[in-house]
């Protein structure tokens, strides 16, 4: 199965259900349903710099056209070509209405279970796949990377010995932070942007590495959630992977953070007071909350 996306005026959409053996005509029909651009009027571009695909033979296989997993097809409409009725009129009508909708950047809430960072990163790098059971694998991955490079990941960097850190990060009650985001950015070869709702700033991990992909998280001082761009009231899957040249999405993320700050949807980790919603114990600051979670397994806190 090929993992493809298409970009048109209506936005960027996943293009599922195709393999290297699928015919060009099948892909064009799927693109027509997604974008509302009729097959006869389609102009398809691929690669960088974008090159036009030869659409003269609809029976050609996608593999023969040089289409591979991870590619994004640009769909343009050639208005000089006559439009014919589509065999999927209902789908095209639906797509035209979707095209008029404005995609918005939104928070996708994940559980506050000590593994929100790992769940959030997995969600965005996998293109919107929610898997609450991914955390142990990601913790183990980080531990393996750290253990394999004790020179780079020394005590001065980690705040503990390399071995102690590897044992620590594997524990399910351990919270992830900047070190783990940096490691995952390198592993997934993408820029991970974390927008902070208290300071309304964006920390960009992997910014200078030359990556072409960008994903975004939002952070309130304790909890991470993934950000996704979606069309309201639409069945089209959300977009979680962006180009590193897409600065519009960064501006949208800052707008989200600023709105959250104005609504005081953040936690000052040094001075905030909490109450454990499980046993009702009062707590002060991030350190006490972590220790309480470690001792009791309680992870449901409310700010007082």
Single out the catalytic residue among 26, 71, 203, 298.
298
What's the pLDDT at 1? 66
As a whole number, mean pLDDT of residues 209-222 equals 90
Single out the catalytic residue among 13, 166, 196, 223.
223
Single out the catalytic residue among 6, 116, 190, 276.
116
Looking up residue 188, the CATH number of its domain turns out to be 3.90.70.80
Together in a domain, 139 and 260: yes
Together in a domain, 71 and 17: yes
Active site residue 116: yes
The Cα 35–Cα 44 span in angstroms is 12
Among 31, 36, 43, 26, residue whose Cα is nearest residue 5 = 31
Together in a domain, 198 and 279: no
Together in a domain, 113 and 93: no
pLDDT in tens, 244-285: 888 888 888 888 888 877 766 444 444 556 677 778 887 776
CA 196 to chain centre: 16
What's the pLDDT at 98? 41
Active site residue 113: yes
pLDDT in tens, 78-128: 877 555 444 444 344 444 444 445 678 889 988 888 899 999 999 999 888
User: Residue 177 pLDDT > 60, yes or no?
Assistant: yes
Together in a domain, 88 and 157: no
Among 162, 136, 134, residue whose Cα is nearest residue 148 = 162
What's the pLDDT at 112? 82
Domain count, the chain: 3
CA-based radius of gyration for the chain: 23
User: Residue 16 pLDDT > 80, yes or no?
Assistant: no
pLDDT in tens, 128-137: 888 888 999 9
CA 250 to chain centre: 13
Together in a domain, 114 and 262: yes
State the residue range of the domain holding 89: 4-100
User: Residue 10 pLDDT > 80, yes or no?
Assistant: no
Please provide residue 21's backbone torsions phi and psi, each rounded to the nearest 5 degrees: -95, -5
Specify the DSSP element, H or E, that contains 283: strand 282-284
**Boundary (domain end) residue, out of 100, 117, 140:** 100
Single out the catalytic residue among 26, 71, 113, 203.
113
Together in a domain, 68 and 88: yes
User: Residue 3 pLDDT > 60, yes or no?
Assistant: yes
Together in a domain, 83 and 219: no
Together in a domain, 164 and 189: yes
Together in a domain, 74 and 174: no
């Amino acid at each position: 199965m090929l993992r493809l996306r298409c970009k048109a005026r209506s936005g960027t959409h996943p293009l599922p259900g195709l393999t290297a053996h699928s015919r060009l005509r099948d892909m064009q029909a799927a693109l027509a349903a997604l974008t509302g651009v009729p097959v006869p009027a389609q102009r398809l571009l691929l690669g960088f710099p974008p090159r036009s695909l030869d659409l003269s033979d609809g029976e050609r296989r996608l593999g023969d056209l040089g289409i591979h997993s991870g590619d994004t097809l640009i769909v343009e409409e050639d208005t000089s070509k006559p439009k014919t009725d589509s065999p999927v009129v209902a789908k095209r009508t639906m797509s035209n209405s979707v095209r008029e909708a404005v995609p918005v950047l939104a928070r996708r809430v994940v559980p506050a279970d000590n593994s929100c960072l790992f769940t959030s990163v997995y969600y965005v790098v996998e293109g919107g796949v929610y898997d609450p059971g991914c955390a142990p694998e990601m913790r183990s991955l980080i531990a393996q990377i750290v253990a394999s490079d004790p020179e780079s990941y020394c005590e001065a960097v980690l705040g503990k010995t390399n071995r102690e850190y590897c044992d620590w990060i594997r524990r399910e009650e351990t919270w992830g932070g900047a070190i783990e985001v940096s490691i995952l950015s390198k592993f997934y070869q993408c820029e991970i942007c974390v927008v902070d709702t208290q300071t309304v700033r964006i920390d960009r991990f992997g910014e200078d590495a030359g990556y072409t992909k960008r994903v975004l998280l939002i952070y309130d001082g304790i909890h991470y959630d993934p950000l996704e761009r979606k069309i309201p009231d639409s069945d089209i899957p959300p977009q979680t992977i962006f180009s590193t040249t897409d600065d519009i999405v960064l501006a949208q993320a800052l707008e989200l953070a600023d709105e959250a700050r104005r609504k005081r949807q953040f936690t000052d980790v040094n001075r905030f007071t909490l109450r454990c919603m499980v046993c009702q114990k009062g707590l002060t600051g991030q350190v006490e909350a972590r220790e309480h979670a470690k001792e009791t397994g309680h992870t449901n806190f409310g700010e007082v």
